[in-house]
Chains A and B, each alone.
Chain A
């Protein structure tokens, strides 16, 4: 039914120097991106980093001020119609028609894509089944819970069997169980060969789903690689101290700076710094003793993506995983 195919020799997604401003707000300051066919790339960034703007440009909804992008080998602006035949988009905010039932939403999309009545019904039923919505298929989507709406939204973007799928914060607002279920569904899609670009504010989510992670901040890609590569980039471990007394935080900060030759992150009484190897622990304990500084806690642990984020951006990934 879909005639254009992803061009064999091209990456699923390729973007060069994407820039976009909204009035005085600079949303994208030159984003480069390459997503190989069949892979899952996670775009990780805090609020306002430019994730949604990037996705909207790639999904042909927004024209960049500068830069070019190709999806499936087709130019997002000059060959937008071909791109639209290849992609599925689940936006940041569920975009289901609340005044139709779940089934009607899917039927409508199937019919718009040129499927026959019978094909549309079969496809809708199949997706309702897959997304555990069969029991609510005849109810207006307005009455759905957040998780059901999200699933319907995702089902809606799969009606046309897209080769390339954009998921903008697919699990934001879901409870932990619904999140895990959605992760499972995404993994199944990937197993079938769908290329996925997903955005998230959750480090854990990028870690769990993505082959490659692209860290964005303030409209730029500031790092990319596998979770392991990113961790290695900032030191494989993190050293964490919790000061026994507020007044000693400054002294501890100076001490850590000296030992690790990096600027420690401070949050209240908690200090952390990337550490190259385990030897640093002995060194820290000795220096604490010499300086007669008391701590409540000393930990050396493997770096989390949170540390990576902190080290790369100088600030945290604001929103913690609930």
Chain B
């Protein structure tokens, strides 16, 4: 350990330790396990059995449509936990403890984000597994599943930066949840996650098809079931780049400003 600065390798190791710590928290907080496990499954079952008949004529047919949609929707909501966790660390003084330690400056934030990606990956795998049990069949070549995961995780990472900003700006963790879910509800529902876009009025269709959630859901459907992939995937990736370019620097700036104000 040098006197001047921690190296990148040490920083990565510290990031891994901090990510491990975030995941460990789940063990002692069963409700969190519920958020990351039971809730997505409940969403899937609920939508499938309640709306399935009305929207697609049969639950089996609707499952083809809704599973990729629920994967994307759940990803969007899980990003809130980055902001929630970060804000908890900031308001409870844990972040200060890290800052007074000889570790890489970026490790605490990076640890949060890495842990969140692990949670995201877990949710996707869980939903895929439950989907398969319910009768979902991957109709496209199997590598599509992997591609879908990577695409969803990429967009998750980009969207996390928005929640990092919320986590920095909010007064307490409860406000992060309140604001996060309030802002994300319209974004997920004004999309083609639950119903095909052509059932909506014309004026809404434009907005829905610009929504990154729709683009990602369409790309995921293409990757799992066959159908157009390139256009929606590129659209989703363009959003990821845009969100990262705007919110990553903004979040880091806001975080440093909050810390400088004591």
Cα A3 to Cα B5 in complex, Å, equals 12
A85 & B1 in contact (Cβ 8 Å cutoff): yes
Contacts of A97 in B (CB 8 A): 21, 25, 92, 94
Q: How far is the CB of A238 from chain B (nearest CB, A)?
A: 38
| Contact indicator A99/B29 (Cβ below 8 Å) | yes
**8 Å CB interface, A223-247 against B:** none
Contact A82 B3 (CB under 8 A): yes
User: Are B93 and A95 within 8 A (Cβ)?
Assistant: yes
- Whole-angstrom CA separation of A250 from B142 in the bound complex: 93
Determine if A179 is an interface residue (Cβ-Cβ < 8 Å).
no
CB 8 Å contact bits of B1-33 with A (1 = contact, 0 = none): 111111000100110011011001100110000
Contact partner of B96 (CB less than 8 A), chosen from A81, A91, A101, is: A91
Q: A120 — nearest CB in chain B belongs to which residue?
A: B17
Q: Which residues of A contact B20 (CB under 8 A)?
A: 108
The reply to whether B10 and A114 contact each other, CB–CB distance below 8 Å, is: yes
- Chain B residues lying within 8 Å of A99, measured Cβ to Cβ, are 25, 28-29
> Does A100 lie within 8 Å of B21, measured CB to CB?
yes
Contact A4 B3 (CB under 8 A): yes
Q: How far is the CB of A307 from chain B (nearest CB, A)?
A: 33
A69 within 8 A of B: no
State which of A57-65, A169-177, A198-206, A297-305 sits at the interface with chain B: A57-65
CB distance from B8 to the nearest CB of A (A): 14
Q: Check if A81 sits within 8 Å of B92, measured CB to CB.
A: no
**In whole angstroms, how far apart are the Cα atoms of A62 and B102 in the complex?**
15
A161 nearest CB across to chain B (Å) = 13
A128 in contact (CB, < 8 A): no
Known: A82-B4, A84-B101. A95 touches B96 (CB 8 A): yes
Whether A108 lies near B17 (C-beta < 8 A) is yes
Contact among B14, B25, B96, B261 with A112 in the assembled complex (CB-CB below 8 Å): B14
Whether, in the assembled complex, B100 has its beta carbon less than 8 Å from a beta carbon of chain A, the answer is yes
Q: Is A187 an interface residue (CB 8 A)?
A: no
Instruction: Output the least CB separation between A259 and chain B (Å).
Output: 47
In the assembly, what is the distance between CA of A144 and CA of B72, in Å?
39
CB interface residues, A 25-67, toward B, < 8 Å: 53, 56, 59-63
Complex contacts, A3 vs chain B, CB 8 Å: 1-3
Q: Does B255 contact A (CB under 8 A)?
A: no
A113 at the interface (CB under 8 A from B): yes
The count of residues in chain A whose C-beta lies closer than 8 Å to any C-beta of chain B is 41
A89-B100 in contact given A82-B3, A82-B4, A95-B92 (Cβ < 8 Å): yes
Q: Is B254 an interface residue (CB 8 A)?
A: no
**B102 A84 Cβ-Cβ under 8 A:** yes
| Inter-chain contact total with CB atoms closer than 8 Å | 93
Q: From residue 77 to 91 of chain A, which have CB atoms closer than 8 A to chain B?
A: 79, 81-82, 84-85, 87, 89, 91
Flag whether A186 is at the interface (Cβ < 8 A): no
Q: Which residues of A contact B94 (CB under 8 A)?
A: 95-97
Among residues of A, the one whose C-beta sits closest to the C-beta of B99 is A61
**A113/B101 in contact, CB under 8 A:** yes
- List, in ascending order, chain A residues with CB within 8 A of B128's CB: none
Q: Does B262 sit at the interface, judged by CB under 8 A?
A: yes
**B250 interfacial contact with A, CB 8 Å:** no
Within the complex, what minimum Cβ distance (angstroms) separates A57 from chain B? 9
Cβ of B243 under 8 Å from chain A = no
Q: How far is the CB of B107 from chain A (nearest CB, A)?
A: 8
Residues from chain A with a CB closer than 8 A to the CB of B24 are 100, 104
Asked if A156 is at the interface of the complex by the 8 Å CB criterion, the answer is: yes
Residues of chain A lying within 8 A (CB to CB) of residue B28: 99-101, 140, 142
Q: Are B93 and A100 in contact (CB under 8 A)?
A: no
Interface residues of B in 12-69 (CB under 8 A from A): 13-14, 17-18, 20-21, 24-25, 28-29
A286 at the interface (CB under 8 A from B): no
Answer whether residue A8 sits at the interface, using C-beta atoms and an 8 A cutoff: no
Nearest chain B CB to A96 CB, angstrom units: 7
Q: How far is the CB of A38 from chain B (nearest CB, A)?
A: 21
Q: Collect the chain A residues with CB atoms within 8 Å of residue B25's CB.
A: 97, 99-100
Residues on A with C-beta less than 8 A from B29 are 99, 140
Question: Can you list 16 pairs linking A and B with CB atoms under 8 Å apart?
Answer: A62-B262, A84-B100, A85-B3, A91-B93, A91-B97, A94-B93, A97-B21, A97-B94, A100-B21, A108-B17, A108-B20, A112-B18, A112-B103, A113-B102, A140-B28, A142-B28
Which residues of A line the B interface, CB within 8 A? 1-4, 22, 53, 56, 59-63, 79, 81-82, 84-85, 87, 89, 91, 93-101, 104, 108-109, 111-114, 140, 142, 156-157, 160
Which residues of B are at the interface with A, using a C-beta cutoff of 8 A?
1-6, 10, 13-14, 17-18, 20-21, 24-25, 28-29, 92-94, 96-103, 107, 259-262
- 17 further A-B pairs in the complex, CB-CB below 8 A; given A62-B262, A91-B96, A114-B13: A60-B99, A84-B100, A85-B3, A89-B96, A91-B97, A97-B94, A99-B25, A99-B29, A101-B28, A108-B21, A111-B17, A112-B14, A112-B18, A113-B101, A113-B102, A142-B28, A156-B97
